[in-house]
């Protein structure tokens, strides 16, 4: 959530910066500033009423002692009238605060100055590419056919048990999943991240704190009886560890990593781009989260980008890093780098990670603050997160890119985790 005072002090700047997102904020910003002009006017009237009530309250005792009973009773009636007025002011303040909050949650985060202009993914900027694109034979198979050939993933069984988008991993397919999770977690821990095992469901406050609610409510699975939500990413419960917390600056940055299943309705997704593992309703992901000092958050963003790149290099996957344009930027992000790996059989890039700096946007919603040494007033921290990594498309690329006539080769870095270096027969 944007800082209210910043909007009041810089309404034109807010409107102009949000144009980079192709978001017209003019009416919302005007409404917010008008409501606070009204509140400030009411505040003056309320302060005047309180001052008068305090003055009269002091006079009442004096009037009674002087025997001026009639004047004292009149003064008491006036204080009662002022109390009613003050109560009405408070009710108006509450209503204005509610209206302002309803408007504030409509505004996305301000994009960083480096965010490219553009309307969609076709306008994203490729920052770097690395790795060698594999050249496959003409009879190369896409990952969904490889999964069937070697009995690694059963998509139809998932449909039977639950529905489309809920695959069943089995045999070496399940072992590969577990190997990737352990590899990612170990690498993240070695980079200084504390491992967290979070809940897979969260309450409304948690969903609001990280910006999933109300913006992405339709994309989340809702447990209506308990008013809880299945998490779309471990970012939500992990970042909410720090909700309503004041940290010491000396403890920053705080670094957490977590593995979780993720649940996304993906409403409206259909067609060839959702085949196999390309788009699922349930999938596994390892997340990294940092809470940082505002002065250091962009250095930390670069550190996180380099860490994710290191994971892909170790798995020998060709990848590219893409800076998202304003039109493709997530609601809560100031700057996002997407990682895409090359899918050799599908002949296209697949997104496997987004690494983002939210600046103080989430922190304002979470009331996550820190205090510099010697400072009495706390200020919002910056939050960052990234996938390190999401498994489905990593698995898709590993299967497709490493297929040979002998079978599917496992990257050397994963062999200690899988216990095998080749998938060459039906998995059991």
Q: Is 385 annotated as a binding residue?
A: yes
Let me know if residue 287 belongs to a domain: yes
100 and 132 co-located in one domain: no
Q: What is the tens place of the pLDDT at every residue in 201-235? A: 999 999 999 999 987 778 999 999 999 999 999 99
Determine the pLDDT at residue 427: 60
Q: Is 359 annotated as a binding residue?
A: no
Let me know if residue 111 belongs to a domain: no
Quote the mean pLDDT of the chain.
Answer: 94
270 and 358 co-located in one domain: yes
Domain of 98, CATH number, reads 1.10.287.40
Determine the pLDDT at residue 89: 85
163 and 272 co-located in one domain: yes
Determine the pLDDT at residue 78: 86
140 and 67 co-located in one domain: no
Domain of 158, CATH number, reads 3.30.930.10
Determine the pLDDT at residue 375: 84
In whole angstroms, give the CA distance from residue 400 to residue 281.
22
Determine the pLDDT at residue 189: 98
Phi-psi region of 285 (alpha: psi -120 to 50; beta: other; left: phi over 0): beta
The structure's pTM equals 0.91
pLDDT band at 271 (very low <50, low <70, confident <90, very high): low
Q: What is the tens place of the pLDDT at every residue in 107-132? A: 999 999 999 999 999 999 999 999 99
Determine the pLDDT at residue 270: 56
- The β-bridge partners of 183 are none
Q: Residue 246: is its pLDDT beyond 90?
A: yes
211 and 245 co-located in one domain: yes
Q: Is 77 annotated as a binding residue?
A: no
96 and 194 co-located in one domain: no
Determine the pLDDT at residue 378: 96
Let me know if residue 195 belongs to a domain: yes
Work out the number of other CB atoms within 10 angstroms of the CB of residue 198: 20
- The β-bridge partners of 319 are 130, 341
Domain boundary among the residues 75, 104, 133 is at: 104
Yes or no: say if 269 and 347 are a contact pair by the CB < 8 Å rule. Answer: no
Domain boundary among the residues 46, 70, 104 is at: 104
Q: Is 235 annotated as a binding residue?
A: yes
Q: Supply the range of the domain harboring residue 39.
A: 4-104
Q: Is 266 annotated as a binding residue?
A: yes
pLDDT band at 272 (very low <50, low <70, confident <90, very high): low
Q: For the residues 97-112, what does the mean pLDDT come to?
A: 95
Q: Is 352 annotated as a binding residue?
A: yes
Q: Is 354 annotated as a binding residue?
A: yes
Yes or no: say if 32 and 2 are a contact pair by the CB < 8 Å rule. Answer: no
Yes or no: say if 421 and 407 are a contact pair by the CB < 8 Å rule. Answer: no
Q: Is 179 annotated as a binding residue?
A: no
Yes or no: say if 388 and 286 are a contact pair by the CB < 8 Å rule. Answer: yes
In whole angstroms, give the CA distance from residue 8 to residue 15.
12
The domain total for the chain is: 2
Q: Residue 243: is its pLDDT beyond 60?
A: yes
Q: What is the tens place of the pLDDT at every residue in 283-335? A: 999 999 999 999 999 999 999 999 999 999 999 999 999 999 999 999 999 99
Determine the pLDDT at residue 70: 84
> With 0-12 CB in 10 A as exposed, 13-18 as middle and 19+ as buried, what is 179?
buried
Let me know if residue 428 belongs to a domain: no
Q: Is 22 annotated as a binding residue?
A: no
Q: What is the tens place of the pLDDT at every residue in 143-160? A: 999 999 999 999 999 999
> With 0-12 CB in 10 A as exposed, 13-18 as middle and 19+ as buried, what is 97?
middle
Yes or no: say if 6 and 14 are a contact pair by the CB < 8 Å rule. Answer: yes
Q: What is the tens place of the pLDDT at every residue in 63-88? A: 888 888 888 888 888 888 888 888 88
Task: For the chain, give the percent of residues with pLDDT over 90.
Answer: 79
């Amino acid at each position: 959530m944007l800082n209210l005072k910043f909007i009041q002090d810089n309404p034109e700047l807010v409107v102009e910066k949000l144009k980079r997102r192709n978001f017209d904020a003019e009416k919302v910003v005007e409404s917010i500033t008008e409501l606070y002009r009204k509140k400030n006017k009411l505040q003056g009237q309320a302060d005047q009423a309180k001052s008068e009530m305090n003055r009269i309250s002091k006079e009442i005792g004096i009037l009674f002692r002087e025997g001026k009973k009639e004047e004292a009773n009149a003064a008491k009636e006036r204080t009662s009238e002022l109390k009613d007025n003050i109560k009405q002011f408070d009710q108006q303040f509450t209503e204005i605060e509610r209206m302002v909050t309803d408007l504030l949650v409509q505004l996305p985060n301000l994009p960083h100055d480096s965010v490219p202009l553009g309307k969609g993914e076709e306008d994203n900027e490729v920052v770097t590419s690395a790795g060698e694109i594999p050249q496959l034979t003409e009879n190369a198979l896409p990952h969904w056919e490889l999964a069937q050939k070697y009995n690694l993933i059963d998509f139809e069984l998932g449909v039977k048990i639950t529905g489309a988008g809920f695959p069943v991993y089995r045999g070496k397919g399940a072992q590969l999943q577990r190997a990737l999770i352990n590899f990612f977690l170990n690498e993240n821990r070695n980079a200084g991240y504390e491992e967290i095992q979070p809940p897979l469901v969260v309450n409304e406050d948690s969903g609001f704190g990280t910006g999933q609610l109300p913006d992405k409510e339709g994309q989340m699975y809702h447990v209506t009886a308990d008013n809880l939500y299945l998490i779309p990413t471990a970012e939500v419960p992990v970042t909410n560890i720090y909700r309503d917390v004041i940290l010491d600056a000396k403890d920053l940055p705080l670094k957490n990593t977590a593995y979780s299943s993720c649940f996304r309705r993906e409403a409206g997704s259909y067609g060839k781009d959702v085949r196999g593992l390309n788009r699922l309703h349930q999938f596994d992901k390892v997340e990294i989260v940092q809470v940082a000092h505002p002065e250091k958050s962009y250095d930390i963003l670069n550190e996180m980008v380099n860490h994710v790149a290191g994971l892909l290099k170790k798995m020998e996957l060709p990848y590219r890093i893409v800076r998202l344009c304003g039109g493709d930027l997530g609601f809560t992000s100031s700057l996002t780098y997407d990682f895409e790996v090359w899918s050799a059989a599908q002949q296209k890039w697949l997104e496997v990670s987004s690494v983002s700096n939210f600046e103080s946007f989430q922190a304002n919603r979470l009331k996550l603050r820190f205090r510099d040494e010697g400072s009495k007033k706390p200020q919002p921290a910056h939050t960052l997160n990234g996938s390190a990594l999401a498994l489905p498309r990593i698995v898709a690329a590993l299967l497709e890119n490493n297929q040979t006539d002998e079978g599917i080769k496992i990257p050397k870095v994963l062999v200690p985790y899988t216990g095998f270096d080749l998938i060459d027969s039906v998995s059991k």
